[in-house]
Amino acid sequence: MSTSTVRSVGKSEPLSWSRTVERELVHRTSVAEVLLTDVRPTDTPHVFLAAASWPRAHATFPRDGSQRHSPLILVETLRQLGLYIPLRFYAVPEVFRAVITDLYFHLSPADELPARAGATEITCSARVSAVRRAPDESAVGLRLNVTFAACGVAFGQGGGGVRFLDGARFTALRARSAVDAVPARPPEGWYRPAAAQLTVNHPHDAVLALDQGELLVSPADPLHPFFFDHPTDHVPGMVLLEAARQAASYRSRGRLSRPLFGSLKASRFTELTPPARVLCTRHGSTCAFRILQGGTETACGTFSYT
């Protein structure tokens, strides 16, 4: 990724890192988990500039010794932008349910800066495309592509698609995509790998368990302050992504722990029970993963580590 300088916000005032945006517009309950501090339109249609504050040491995500931020901080910032921009600028009602269909991220390690004392000020350039609108002109779907920069140097990219559904449409979609899963076996034989084997800071950050050699999506803490900041009726996409990352780390004995590229595509909702399986196939420095529940694939993706 080439070095670039992020341009100014047209005629408006400079971006601010002084306070967070409204937590409701990024679907967070805890203000401490809100990363965005400012989002503004530019003179170019469908292009926005945003400010985000990345904490030096997020309790959930370990650093790899180089003092770099976790890739999932970038993904969480992308998720928050994918909610805030449509709700704030595309007339999406706050009561609508957001469904992320797919996402990707890409980091350039040569351009990454070490985490700074206190927090790192991140500038995001976001472009909205493929906007689909309802008859009342509110957006019901769009795609977002974002470039991430620190100190004027671009070091990462990310993007994805999101749909917005009213209560009736969301209920209908849940009914159509529900998995006919078999009952879960009793957890007596389950084993929780050690935190170091999953490359996490603390045992409560684990989202995997082992059952007769199979890796299962099974968060150690169902009230985890990051993964389950608010109630949910299905497994969040961030949990699936972290489960796949932990699976790659476990299967590779820690060799594959910090992906530089990642993608996730969700074809169905992953239900909270019974625990979904994580299949992880390594090809050199690349890992392909699948999430299966009741014999049905609910999500798939890829990580690359070089």
Q: What is the pTM for the complete model shown?
A: 0.92
Give the model's pLDDT for residue 8: 46
Give the model's pLDDT for residue 187: 63
Query: From CA 116, how far away is CA 176, in angstroms rounded?
Result: 46
Q: How far is the CA of 80 from the CAs of 41, 109, 176, 201, in angstroms? A: 16, 23, 27, 24
Q: Does pLDDT of 71 surpass 80?
A: yes
- Single out the residue of 73, 97, 81 nearest to residue 259, CA to CA: 73
Domain-wise residue ranges, the chain: 23-174, 184-304
Residue 89 pLDDT level (bands cut at 50, 70, 90): very high
Phi, psi of 197 (to 5 degrees): -70, -25
Give the model's pLDDT for residue 57: 75
Residue 59 pLDDT level (bands cut at 50, 70, 90): confident
Residue 99 pLDDT level (bands cut at 50, 70, 90): very high
Give the model's pLDDT for residue 153: 97
Q: Does pLDDT of 1 surpass 50?
A: no
Give the model's pLDDT for residue 115: 84
Q: Which amino acid would we find at residue 107?
A: L
247: number of Cβ within 10 Å: 26
pLDDT tens for each residue of 231-269: 899 999 999 999 999 999 999 999 999 999 999 999 999
Topology classification of domain 184-304: Thiol Ester Dehydrase; Chain A (3.10.129)
Query: From CA 139, how far away is CA 263, in angstroms rounded?
Result: 24
pLDDT tens for each residue of 179-226: 765 555 556 678 999 999 999 989 999 999 999 999 999 999 999 999
93: CB partners within 8 A, 6+ apart: 138, 166
299: CB partners within 8 A, 6+ apart: 237, 240, 264, 265, 266, 267, 268, 270, 290, 291
pLDDT tens for each residue of 142-190: 999 999 999 999 999 999 999 999 999 999 998 887 776 555 555 667 8
181: number of Cβ within 10 Å: 18
Give the model's pLDDT for residue 7: 45
92: CB partners within 8 A, 6+ apart: 86, 138, 139, 140, 164
Mean pLDDT of 106-125: 92
Residue 6 pLDDT level (bands cut at 50, 70, 90): very low
Q: Do domains 23-174 and 184-304 have the same CATH topology?
A: yes
Query: From CA 20, how far away is CA 27, in angstroms rounded?
Result: 13
Share of the chain above pLDDT 70, in %: 91
Mean pLDDT of 48-61: 88
Q: What superfamily in CATH does domain 23-174 come from?
A: Hotdog Thioesterase (3.10.129.10)
Query: From CA 272, how far away is CA 218, in angstroms rounded?
Result: 9
